[in-house]
Structure 1
Amino acid sequence: MPATLFPRAPYLLCPALLLAALPAGSALAASAAENLQLPSVEVVAPRSTDEGYKASNASTASKSDTPLKEEAQSVQVVTPQTIEDYQVKSLDDAMKFVSGVSQSNTLGGTKDAFIKRGFGTNSDGSILRDGIRSNLSRNFGATSERVEVLKGPAALLYGAMDPGGLINVISKLPQYQQRTVIGGSTYSEGGGSLSLDTTGPLGDTGLAYRLIAERQNEDYWRNYGSDEQVLVAPSLTWTGERASLTLAYEYNDYSAPFDRGTVFIGGHPASVDYDKRLDERWAETRGIAESARAVFEYQLDDDWKTRLTYGWNNDRYGLSIAQPVSLNAATGNFRRVGNGAHYDDETRYGSLDLIGQQMLFGQRHELLLGVDHELNDQYRGKTYRNTTGMRSDIDIYDPVYGELDEPSVISATQSNRRNELTSTSMYFKDNWHLDDRWILVLGGRYQHYDQYIAQGLGSSRETLYDRNDQTLIPFTGLVYKASEALSLYGNYSRSFVPNTSVTDSGQTFDPEEGRSYEVGAKYDLRPGLSLNLALFDIVKENVVVGSGDNTEAAGKVGSRGVEVDLSGRIAERWELIATYAYTHTEILDDPANEDNRLAQAPRHTGSLYLTHQLAAPSELGTWRIGGGARHVGERTADNADSFRLSGYTVADTFVRWEYPLLGRKTSLQLNVDNLFDKHYYPSTTGSELNVSVGEPRTARLSASVEF
Structure 2
Amino acid sequence: MNVYSTYLAVMVSAMGAGGAVWADTPYRPAGQSPSETVDLGTVTVRGKHMVMEKGYKAERSDITGVDTSILDTPYSIDVVTQERLEDKQPQTLEESVKGISGLTQGNNLAGTLDTVMRRGYGSNRDGSIMRNGLGSPMARNFTANVERVEVLKGPASVLYGMQNPGGVINVVTKKPDHTKHTTTLNIGYGNYAAKKAGIDTTGPIGNSGAAYRFVADYKTQNYWRSFGSNTEYIVAPSLSWQNDKTKVSAGYEYQNYKGVFDRGTFLDVSGTAANNPNYGKVLDIPLKRRLDDPINVTKGHSHTFQLNGEHKLNQNWKLRAAYGFSKNHYNDWQARVMNYNAATREVRRRIDGTRPSDASTHSLNISANGLVDQGENITHKLRASVQLQDYKLKLGDLRRSAAQHNMSVDNPVYGQNWIESANPTADARTSDTLEHYKTAALLLQDSAYIGNHWIVSGGVRGQWHKIESGQGRPIRFRNRSSGFNLFPQIGAVYLINPRWSVYGNFGTSAKPNASRNIDYAGKKIPLEKSRQFELGSKYHSENLSANFALFHIKKDNVARPVILANGDVETRIIEKNRSQGVEVDVNGKITDKLGISANYTLTDTKVLEDKNEPLNEGNRFGSIPKHTAGLTLFYDFGRALGGNWRTGAGLDYRGRWGFNYVRNNQAQWFEMPSATTYHAFVSYDTKVGGKPLNLRLTGKNLGNKQYFVSHTSATMQHLSIGEPRTVTLGAKLSF
Which TM-score applies when normalising by structure 1?
0.91
Amino acid at match of 1:326: N
Measured after TM superposition, the shift of residue 688 of structure 1 is 6.0
Give the whole-Å Cα distance in 1 for the aligned partners of 2:194 and 2:456: 54
Q: Which of 53, 58, 61 is the matching residue for 1:58?
A: 61
Residue matched to 1:164 = 166
Q: Which of 707, 710, 734 is the matching residue for 1:683?
A: 710
Residue matched to 1:295 = 308
Q: Which of 604, 617, 620 is the matching residue for 1:594?
A: 617
Residue matched to 2:259 = 256
Percentage of identical aligned residues: 33
**8 A contact 1:337–1:404 mirrored in 2:** no
String of CA shifts for 1:3-38, please: whole Å, max 9, x gaps.
Answer: xxxxxxxxxxxxxxxxxxxxx9994799xxxxxxxx
Residue matched to 2:349 = 336
Measured after TM superposition, the shift of residue 120 of structure 1 is 0.9
Verify: 1:646 aligned to 2:661, yes or no: no
Q: Which of 457, 461, 464 is the matching residue for 1:448?
A: 464
Q: Which of 474, 492, 497 is the matching residue for 1:483?
A: 497
String of CA shifts for 1:631-652, please: whole Å, max 9, x gaps.
Answer: 1111122374531222211111
Residue matched to 1:19 = none
**8 A contact 2:479–2:525 mirrored in 1:** no
**8 A contact 1:597–1:641 mirrored in 2:** no
Give the whole-Å Cα distance in 2 for the aligned partners of 1:685 and 1:92: 16
Give the whole-Å Cα distance in 2 for the aligned partners of 1:145 and 1:169: 8
Measured after TM superposition, the shift of residue 398 of structure 1 is 1.8
Give the whole-Å Cα distance in 1 for the aligned partners of 2:470 and 2:214: 40
Residue matched to 2:185 = 182
Residue matched to 1:381 = 396
Amino acid at match of 1:223: S
String of CA shifts for 1:250-289, please: whole Å, max 9, x gaps.
Answer: 0011110001111122222212122122111111110011
Give the whole-Å Cα distance in 1 for the aligned partners of 2:17 and 2:426: 58
The change in CA–CA distance for 1:537 and 1:641 in structure 2 (over 3 A counts) is farther
The change in CA–CA distance for 1:554 and 1:271 in structure 2 (over 3 A counts) is closer
Amino acid at match of 1:226: S
Residue matched to 2:285 = 272
String of CA shifts for 1:196-242, please: whole Å, max 9, x gaps.
Answer: 00000111111100000011121111121111112100000101121
**8 A contact 2:638–2:646 mirrored in 1:** no
Aligned residue for 2:410, secondary structure, equals: coil
User: With CA pairs under 8 Å and 6+ residues apart, which has the higher RCO, 1 or 2?
Assistant: 1
Residue matched to 1:210 = 213
**8 A contact 2:481–2:525 mirrored in 1:** no
Measured after TM superposition, the shift of residue 689 of structure 1 is 3.4
Measured after TM superposition, the shift of residue 664 of structure 1 is 1.1
5+ long unaligned stretches in structure 1: 1-23, 31-41
Verify: 1:231 aligned to 2:210, yes or no: no
Measured after TM superposition, the shift of residue 546 of structure 1 is 6.2
* Equivalent residues in 2 for 1:355-504, closer than 5 Å: 355-362=369-376, 363-387=378-402, 389=403, 391-402=404-415, 403-405=417-419, 408-457=424-473, 460-501=474-515, 502-503=517-518
The change in CA–CA distance for 1:43 and 1:608 in structure 2 (over 3 A counts) is closer
The change in CA–CA distance for 1:82 and 1:545 in structure 2 (over 3 A counts) is closer
Verify: 1:555 aligned to 2:597, yes or no: no
> Which range is displaced more, 87-96 or 114-123?
87-96
Aligned residue for 1:405, secondary structure, equals: helix
* Equivalent residues in 2 for 1:117-156, closer than 5 Å: 117-156=119-158
Give the whole-Å Cα distance in 2 for the aligned partners of 1:317 and 1:635: 32
Give the whole-Å Cα distance in 2 for the aligned partners of 1:688 and 1:681: 15
* Equivalent residues in 2 for 1:565-584, closer than 5 Å: 565-584=585-604
Verify: 1:537 aligned to 2:552, yes or no: yes
Give the whole-Å Cα distance in 2 for the aligned partners of 1:348 and 1:646: 42
**8 A contact 1:226–1:257 mirrored in 2:** yes
* Equivalent residues in 2 for 1:91-130, closer than 5 Å: 91-130=93-132
Q: Which of 299, 309, 328 is the matching residue for 2:322?
A: 309
Aligned residue for 2:74, secondary structure, equals: coil
**8 A contact 1:115–1:600 mirrored in 2:** no
* Equivalent residues in 2 for 1:38-53, closer than 5 Å: 45-47=47-49, 48-53=51-56
String of CA shifts for 1:543-574, please: whole Å, max 9, x gaps.
Answer: 13564899753421001111000110011211
Amino acid at match of 1:532: N
Q: Which of 657, 662, 669 is the matching residue for 2:684?
A: 657
Aligned residue for 1:137, secondary structure, equals: coil
**8 A contact 1:504–1:548 mirrored in 2:** no
**8 A contact 1:260–1:692 mirrored in 2:** yes
Measured after TM superposition, the shift of residue 346 of structure 1 is 0.3
Give the whole-Å Cα distance in 1 for the aligned partners of 2:705 and 2:572: 42
The change in CA–CA distance for 1:511 and 1:43 in structure 2 (over 3 A counts) is closer
Which TM-score applies when normalising by structure 2?
0.88
Q: CA RMSD in A?
A: 2.1
Residue matched to 2:633 = 610
Give the whole-Å Cα distance in 2 for the aligned partners of 1:91 and 1:253: 16
Residue matched to 1:321 = 334
Give the whole-Å Cα distance in 2 for the aligned partners of 1:103 and 1:166: 14
**8 A contact 2:463–2:486 mirrored in 1:** yes
Measured after TM superposition, the shift of residue 581 of structure 1 is 0.5
Measured after TM superposition, the shift of residue 116 of structure 1 is 0.9
Measured after TM superposition, the shift of residue 620 of structure 1 is 2.1
Residue matched to 1:345 = 359
Residue matched to 2:657 = 635
Aligned residue for 2:639, secondary structure, equals: coil
Give the whole-Å Cα distance in 2 for the aligned partners of 1:368 and 1:580: 34
Residue matched to 1:696 = 724
Amino acid at match of 2:434: R
Amino acid at match of 2:320: R
5+ long unaligned stretches in structure 2: 1-14, 22-41, 269-278, 565-569, 662-666
Amino acid at match of 1:396: V
Aligned residue for 1:82, secondary structure, equals: helix
Aligned residue for 1:669, secondary structure, equals: strand
Measured after TM superposition, the shift of residue 187 of structure 1 is 1.9
The change in CA–CA distance for 1:105 and 1:513 in structure 2 (over 3 A counts) is same
**8 A contact 2:587–2:598 mirrored in 1:** yes
Give the whole-Å Cα distance in 2 for the aligned partners of 1:222 and 1:622: 37
Give the whole-Å Cα distance in 2 for the aligned partners of 1:505 and 1:305: 45
Amino acid at match of 2:405: S
Aligned residue for 1:482, secondary structure, equals: strand
Give the whole-Å Cα distance in 2 for the aligned partners of 1:109 and 1:116: 18
Amino acid at match of 2:594: W
Give the whole-Å Cα distance in 2 for the aligned partners of 1:424 and 1:26: 45
